[in-house]
A and B are shown apart, each in its own frame.
Chain A
Amino acid sequence: AQKITQTQPGMFVQEKEAVTLDCTYDTSDPSYGLFWYKQPSSGEMIFLIYQGSYDQQNATEGRYSLNFQKARKSANLVISASQLGDSAMYFCAMRGIKPQGAQKLVFGQGTRLTINP
């Protein structure tokens, strides 16, 4: 079974500061993918960044980077130079990498990020 743990229910950060959102995972799959999604108050889940378990380098997408530490089973999201529009719920998710099957996402409970002006 796969499990995602996000231990920070809420984070408060000053605008323009960097913020790290924690995510640890557990899986018995030899290959897997890790995702971060943003959910604003409107409800839509917005894909931010992806890390494959065999990727040698940490993923980056603009102001988002994923700090992947495989031995520690952690996949923290780093947002640089935070903006007011970054205020939202953030979910870490994972799925196994298998040739068959649903490839369904397993989500953590989320972290509510609030950016203060």
Chain B
Amino acid sequence: DTGVSQDPRHKITKRGQNVTFRCDPISEHNRLYWYRQTLGQGPEFLTYFQNEAQLEKSRLLSNRFSAERPKGSFSTLEIQRTEQGDSAMYLCASTQRTLGEQYFGPGTRLTVT
């Protein structure tokens, strides 16, 4: 069990550029979550996958955001035409059991200049 990993850990990009983040969950976990955390706030839910199916999306996930989990293993979160308001920590979490605790990765900190 190597834990949830995320790549990159930090990303600085100019406004208007596209960025993509990757999350590798704990290997046997079929449930995967993306959260966003802005400075001084708790994480907020973005989207949820069960295996490869994206089953729930938050209203926070505008049409510039897209997430995939093509083979039910790793997941990617893409932000198109980034805006300064997208600057945040993007956290990925996974769990095996529906009612189990979620295990978080170290996050990707995005800064849009």
Contact = CB atoms under 8 A, between A and B. Distances in A.
A45 B56 CA distance: 22
A101 interface: yes
Interface size class of A (residues with CB under 8 A): 20 to 34
A43 B107 contact: yes
Nearest to A107: B42
Contacts, number: 58
A105 B43 contact: yes
Contacts of A68: none
Report the contact-size class of chain B (Cβ under 8 Å from the partner). 20 to 34
B102 interface: yes
Interface stretch (B21-29, B71-79, B93-101): B93-101
Nearest to B35: A105
A54 to B, nearest CB: 12
A41 to B, nearest CB: 12
Interface in B59-113: 89, 91, 93, 98-99, 101-107, 109
Interface of B: 31, 33, 35, 40-45, 48, 55-56, 89, 91, 93, 98-99, 101-107, 109
